Amino acid sequence: MSLSRRYRREVRAFVLFSVSLHCALHCVACGGEAGTGGAAPDAAAGGGPTGGASGGDPSGGGARPEPGGNGGASALGDAGPAPTPVDDGGPGPEPDPGDDAGPTPGPDAAGPVPDAAGPVPDAAPPGPDPRLATLIDEAAAAVCGALFRCCDDASVNRYFEPYVYNEALEDFLPRLPPRAEVTAETCPGLVTEMLTVVPLGRWVDAAERGFVELVPARVDACLDALASAACGEGVSTALFDATCFWLSPPAGGDEQRTIFARTATEGGACRPLNDGFGGVFFGTCDPDLAFCCHGEPGACDFPDGPESEGICRTAGAIGDACSQIPVQLCRTGLECGDDGLCRAPVHTPISVGDPCIDERFNLLGDCVDSYCDIFESSRCVPRRADGEACMGADECLSFACLEGVCADPQFCQGR
């Protein structure tokens, strides 16, 4: 995904849902929705080293990570596979008199012994993947291994900056830079604790309950990427990969958490996840097909806490109706247009000085060699030089916004 396209999706989602869903989503946070990190459903604040205090991602994300990849009320979870029925019909058929049926049980035997050659009853359905118990520990060890293999102290501190600004993790502030030093020895335990709060803990819980499934091959691929990445751009990409273990939510559309599979569709039970807009509203449903409806069909409401169970309802395709209240989402990657219909995102090139966002916070296209100044002029404006103030990486010529200032993007070049 190009830098400007990702930024475009991020800022529209952040602005629109900050305005329209503040109060409704606050109740989710009050109900224990760790990781919403504030008013907006995608307010899992943070991004890579190119993000300032307001977040962003290492590839140049803007003011906020896009909520699950769906602009506006776009339709951005898994009831799990149906359990295999257990055959409890008793022993197999009686052996033929001509067969060697073995010794006859005595009078105190519990019952007839089934023929060993006869049909075997179906095995009980498997329980949760045992790797779920170690997943977050493995992820934390891989993250910390990459950090302390490639990152100088300043880069380590920058890596943890988004954790500092995530309200769900405020209890960890005394253990994070700049208040405390993170070392190779303390890093794994600290990161394990934080990833359990947001974003992976709720995913693991959902998998243990059968709502989603762990994808071990993808877990291995994410671990291998961290272990083998070259210092510099390679390790930065691996550390801030939102499809794997990174704090901020994936952008949605073709960018999803790939380490879990969400397959529930219309009629399947679902729960919210604390992983951006997609986690809250699509929950454990397959976001390509359904969203998690809390309430009656046609009157879907917001989840009222992490244990709020809903039913997957069909998400809109292009041309289908969509709305914010009641909640009727479009499929992940689509937007809800001004006409209340699902549509593909608009990517019309926009020149410096031209309007880039309308009064309903719909982005009108992609700014060319510039960024959309959504908080002031609502027009495409030139990017800023090193040393100028910034809120997100896409505002800077260097595509690096460090502590609110455009700067040299050097990160994790080696210890």
Q: Let me know: does 105 contact 142? Beta carbons within 8 Å.
A: no
In a domain, 92, yes or no: no
In a domain, 319, yes or no: yes
Q: What is residue 126's predicted lDDT score, i.e. its pLDDT?
A: 62
In a domain, 152, yes or no: yes
In a domain, 44, yes or no: yes
Q: Let me know: does 211 contact 270? Beta carbons within 8 Å.
A: yes
For residue range 209-218, list pLDDT tens digits in order: 999 999 999 9
In a domain, 360, yes or no: no
Residues 325-364 as b or e (16 or more Cβ within 10 Å = b): eebbbbbbbbbbbeeebbbebeeeebeeeeebbeeebbbb
Q: What is residue 125's predicted lDDT score, i.e. its pLDDT?
A: 52
Closest CA to 287 of 309, 308, 260: 260
First to last CA, the chain: 30
Q: What is residue 410's predicted lDDT score, i.e. its pLDDT?
A: 85
List the 310-314 sheet strands across, edge first: 269-270, 310-314, 290-293
- Residue 23: its H or E element: helix 22-30
Q: How far apart are CA 259 and CA 245, in angstroms?
A: 9
Q: Which domain holds residue 181?
A: 3-79+130-345+383-406
Q: Could you tell me which residues are beta bridge partners of residue 380?
A: 372
For residue range 308-338, list pLDDT tens digits in order: 999 999 999 999 999 989 999 999 999 998 8
Q: What is residue 47's predicted lDDT score, i.e. its pLDDT?
A: 38
For the chain, give the longest Cα–Cα distance.
Answer: 95
In a domain, 359, yes or no: no
Number of structural domains, the chain?
1
In a domain, 115, yes or no: no
In a domain, 135, yes or no: yes
| pLDDT tens series, the chain, 415 aa | 344 444 444 444 444 334 333 333 333 333 333 333 332 333 333 334 444 333 333 333 333 333 333 333 333 333 333 333 333 333 333 333 333 333 333 434 344 444 444 444 444 456 789 999 999 999 999 999 999 999 999 999 989 989 998 999 999 999 999 999 999 999 999 999 999 999 999 999 999 999 999 999 999 999 999 999 999 999 999 999 999 999 999 999 999 999 999 999 999 999 999 999 899 999 999 999 999 999 988 899 999 888 899 999 999 999 999 998 999 999 999 999 888 999 999 999 999 999 999 887 778 999 999 999 988 999 999 999 999 999 888 899 988 887 788 988 788 998 8
